[in-house]
A and B are shown apart, each in its own frame.
Chain A
Amino acid sequence: QVQLQESGPGLVKPPQTLSLTCTVSGGSISSGPYYWSWIRQPAGKGLEWIGRIYTSGSTNYNPSLKSRVSISLDTSKNQFSLKLDSVTAADTAVYYCARSNNDYGANAHDYWGRGTLVSVSS
């Protein structure tokens, strides 16, 4: 059974960089037709798609965040990571990592992490 677990600082000062890691267990991050995604949700608000990385390493980002976001794979640790630069209070949210199976079309998310709350405050 594949499991995803987010980790990282719960508090980030503006305008520092938010860095989160998603550790994948039960399957290899570098094999299969999978996209590894980051999604966030501010308190009381809706979901926002941040971006994704394919097993090949190719990435796609939300245009509204593209100038500040980077997603990478660390196959040696079976992890993928999110970096968001120049954060403000508006980046305070629960951040989720998820896997989608490209064989079933875009956004066929089959596994999700539980989410981690990141607060941006000085």
Chain B
Amino acid sequence: QTVVTQEPSFSVSPGGTVTLTCGLSSGSVSTSHYASWYQQTPGQAPRTLIYSTNSRSSGVPDRFSGSILGNKAALTITGAQADDESDYYCILYMGSGISVFGGGTKLTVL
């Protein structure tokens, strides 16, 4: 079974730029995987940031952007702020109606 991989943790300085990635244990991520990215703070429901690789969800600041970098999907946060400190999850569409979440990345802003 294919596993969706994410960095377990990452840190960024306030005002800095960070890129989180979402890969596959076997193969490359493409736009056909319709990568979506979610932000989650403790005790809260996930919030959709990005869908279909690079489309920003309504109300999401443009400092969040999605792309394909090499063989992975990527979420880039430009000008990181303190309240960006959250868990970030990606999900990939595997075909045949099936989707799989990555394990999540805990982002620290310090």
Question: Do A and B share a complex?
Answer: yes
Q: Is the CB of B58 within 8 A of A104?
A: no
- A39, A52, A109, A115: the one contacting B51 at CB < 8 Å is A109
Total count of chain B residues near the partner, CB < 8 A: 26
Interchain CB contact (< 8 A) of A62 among B57, B98, B104: B98
Q: How far is the CB of A96 from chain B (nearest CB, A)?
A: 6
Please tell me which one of the listed residues B47, B89, B96 contacts residue A46 in the complex, with CB atoms under 8 A apart: B89
Given contacts A46-B101, A63-B98, contact A104 B51 (CB under 8 A): yes
Question: Which residues of A, 35-88, contact B by the 8 Å Cβ criterion?
Answer: 39, 46-49, 52, 60, 62-64
Contact A110 B58 (CB under 8 A): yes
List residues 95-121 of chain A with CB under 8 A from any CB of chain B: 96, 104-110, 112-115
Chain B hits for A114, CB < 8 A: 45
For the complex of A and B, 8 pairs with smallest distance between CB atoms: A60-B97, A106-B93, A105-B52, A108-B51, A105-B34, A107-B36, A106-B34, A46-B104
